[in-house]
A and B are shown apart, each in its own frame.
Chain A
Amino acid sequence: MGDTAAHRVTRWALRLIVIGYLLFLVIWPVALVAAKTFANGLAPVINALRQPEVIFAFQLTLSAAFWAVVINTIFGVGISLLLVRYTFPGRRALNAMVDLPLSVSPVVVGLALVLVYNGRTGWLGPSLEEAGLQVIYAPPAIIMATAFVSLPLVIREVVPVLQEIGTEQEQAARSLGASGLQTFARITLPAIKWGLLYGVVLSLARSLGEFGAVKIVSGGVAMRTQTATLLVEERYQQFGIVNSITAYTAAFILALIAVVALIIVTSLRPGKGASE
């Protein structure tokens, strides 16, 4: 490799083009947001974080993301087991449909949830509201929208692992008298734990950052249904240095969480390989 001068020139050119492209598209813009957040020092950033609206928005985002991830973990593993271990009519269709939340627009997701669960004209909304459960413009809708968009992330990680490990160990456990639950807890779960963890981290990162779907279903009222991403939008569009710093600070924290999640995931990948 690398024998001729022409080859070396092409390689260098390609390397430079790629680095330049990424610099202008990703690295520089991301660095600028960090720079703008701390442009006036640390004090305004800390003040921004002390605002009750900001604290509330992050708390809401965290709790919604937490519940969405819990839901996705349980149902994600359930659906994965269903897809891999059982054959039933429509399995191929279900397998394809599982990817739908990833490829459909978050705005469409939001609209879909509003159509079913809104309290006036929705299919299920009015009866749920009579039962005392408001979904749309309330936290349940935020959790549903978040769970919707991040559901495939867990399934897509767990399915290949389940396919790979096969059923021999599970059958052995069964034949030795283990119950279904014991088999799952002792054999299946330890085998899929890395894939599952990876899916959970991805799903958590996605959940914290969901914007479009949440915007439609939550209404975005400050101190009630405004999540961190909605806060960024609202503050950025308002005038004044305090609002703008608040927007940048919240955006910086969201970006930081995303990058940390990314690094965790990247370092988990080789770890996963080593444990096998």
Chain B
Amino acid sequence: MWFSLLVLIPLTAVLVQAAAGGWSAYWDALTSQQTLAALRLTVGQAVLVTAVNVIMGTAIAWVLVRDQFRGKQLLEVVIDIPFALPTIVAGLVLLSLYGPSSPLGVNWANTRVAVFLAFLFVTLPFIVRTVQPVLLELEHEVEEAAASLGASRLTTFRLVILPSLAPAITSGAALSFCRAISEYGSLVLLSGNLPYSTEVASVRIMSSVEGDKLTEAAAVASILLVVALIVIVVLDLISRRVARYG
């Protein structure tokens, strides 16, 4: 009951409000140039960031599990910082290294690079944290068997390790994509939110709300909501498959 008051009814309200103006108003809201630009930027950067995360996340998980060196414990904490840090602080944090007074001499504030960086920062833990436990449980014997049968390291990785990591990487990627398209807080200070250039979907919703155009806001929100639902269903299916075959 409380769950439905707090979660279900409000989310239904978004869908109802989105449908309130009829199909044509919904379509108009979504196909306005500014909204299209925002959606395109959000999805494009989210895909890019997810691709980077698939590679870097797997690499980080690999190093954390298989490598031994001093300070590894510290890295474990570092991985979770983006998850724990308030998003507005995350924005400020990135701004201090990549913003106007950067010690690196770059100024990426208010550019698309900033959007990319913000997404990269907030989605860092997802693939690492989904791949890590699987990698930990992976049995050394199988790899050794492959190696003793003459497989090279690369072949072993491609044919033995990668297939067993695939479900974990996929669910991590889904989470990370989902998180990226819904990101808001870290972009407020960082990206400048310039229409047609660095404005992402969440910022678009926010400015529609502030302009009291609730139907327009709900239309964009419904897209994000549907994507979130799809991701949840996909994750549910993956975990069921793993449970069946694993």
Q: Chain A interface (Cβ within 8 Å of chain B)?
A: 7, 10-11, 14-15, 17-19, 21-22, 24-30, 32-33, 36, 71, 75, 79, 92, 94, 96-101, 103-117, 123-124, 144, 147-148, 151, 205, 208-212, 215-216, 229, 232-233, 236-237, 247-248, 251, 254-255, 258-259, 261-263, 266
A226 to B: closest C-beta gap in Å: 12
Q: Decide: B232 and A255 in contact? CB cutoff 8 A.
A: no
Once A148-B6, A212-B202 are accepted as A-B contacts, the answer to whether A108 and B60 lie under 8 Å apart by CB is no
- Of A27, A75, A109, A254, which is within 8 A of B86 by CB? A254
* B178-223 interface (Cβ within 8 A of A): 178-179, 181-185, 188-189, 201-203, 205-206, 209, 214, 217-218, 221
Q: Decide: B10 and A259 in contact? CB cutoff 8 A.
A: no
- Of A105, A112, A114, A233, which is within 8 A of B88 by CB? A233
Q: Which 6 A-B pairs have the closest CB atoms?
A: A209-B86, A105-B182, A112-B10, A211-B185, A212-B184, A258-B84
Write the B1-30 contact mask toward A (1 if CB under 8 angstroms, else 0). Answer: 011001111110110110000000000000
Q: Decide: B13 and A115 in contact? CB cutoff 8 A.
A: yes
Once A18-B63, A211-B87 are accepted as A-B contacts, the answer to whether A108 and B81 lie under 8 Å apart by CB is no
* B72-99 interface (Cβ within 8 A of A): 75-82, 84-89, 92-94, 96-98
Write the B87-114 contact mask toward A (1 if CB under 8 angstroms, else 0). Answer: 1110011101110000100000000000
C-alpha gap A191/B75 in the complex (Å): 31
Q: Sample 28 A-B pairs with CB under 8 A, ordered by A number.
A: A14-B62, A24-B97, A25-B117, A26-B124, A32-B96, A71-B2, A103-B178, A103-B231, A104-B228, A105-B202, A105-B221, A106-B87, A107-B202, A108-B14, A111-B214, A114-B214, A144-B6, A148-B6, A215-B206, A229-B86, A233-B188, A236-B92, A237-B189, A251-B86, A251-B88, A255-B86, A255-B93, A258-B85
C-alpha gap A68/B242 in the complex (Å): 34
Q: Decide: A112 and B228 in contact? CB cutoff 8 A.
A: no
C-alpha gap A27/B85 in the complex (Å): 13
- Of A103, A111, A113, A147, which is within 8 A of B205 by CB? A111
Q: Decide: A116 and B62 in contact? CB cutoff 8 A.
A: no
Q: Decide: B185 and A229 in contact? CB cutoff 8 A.
A: yes
- Of B82, B201, B218, which is within 8 A of A26 by CB? B82
C-alpha gap A116/B236 in the complex (Å): 29
Say yes or no: is B139 at the interface (Cβ < 8 Å to chain A): no
Q: Decide: A30 and B205 in contact? CB cutoff 8 A.
A: no
- Of A15, A104, A144, which is within 8 A of B224 by CB? A104
Say yes or no: is B69 at the interface (Cβ < 8 Å to chain A): yes
Query: Interface residues of B, CB < 8 Å — how many?
Result: 74
Q: Decide: B14 and A97 in contact? CB cutoff 8 A.
A: no
Q: Decide: B89 and A254 in contact? CB cutoff 8 A.
A: yes
C-alpha gap A108/B11 in the complex (Å): 8
Q: Decide: A209 and B79 in contact? CB cutoff 8 A.
A: no
Q: Decide: B209 and A111 in contact? CB cutoff 8 A.
A: yes
C-alpha gap A53/B228 in the complex (Å): 36
Chain A residues with CB under 8 A of B201 = 105
Say yes or no: is B146 at the interface (Cβ < 8 Å to chain A): no
C-alpha gap A202/B81 in the complex (Å): 12
A240 to B: closest C-beta gap in Å: 15
C-alpha gap A248/B207 in the complex (Å): 25
Say yes or no: is B145 at the interface (Cβ < 8 Å to chain A): no
Say yes or no: is B151 at the interface (Cβ < 8 Å to chain A): no
B241 to A: closest C-beta gap in Å: 15
Q: Decide: B92 and A248 in contact? CB cutoff 8 A.
A: yes
C-alpha gap A210/B236 in the complex (Å): 26
Q: Decide: B209 and A22 in contact? CB cutoff 8 A.
A: no
Q: Decide: B13 and A112 in contact? CB cutoff 8 A.
A: yes
Q: Decide: B13 and A258 in contact? CB cutoff 8 A.
A: no
Once A33-B96, A96-B236, A229-B185 are accepted as A-B contacts, the answer to whether A75 and B3 lie under 8 Å apart by CB is yes
- Of A25, A124, A266, which is within 8 A of B76 by CB? A266
* B49-72 interface (Cβ within 8 A of A): 56, 59-60, 62-63, 67, 69
C-alpha gap A237/B184 in the complex (Å): 16
Q: Decide: B7 and A101 in contact? CB cutoff 8 A.
A: yes
C-alpha gap A98/B202 in the complex (Å): 22
B81 to A: closest C-beta gap in Å: 6
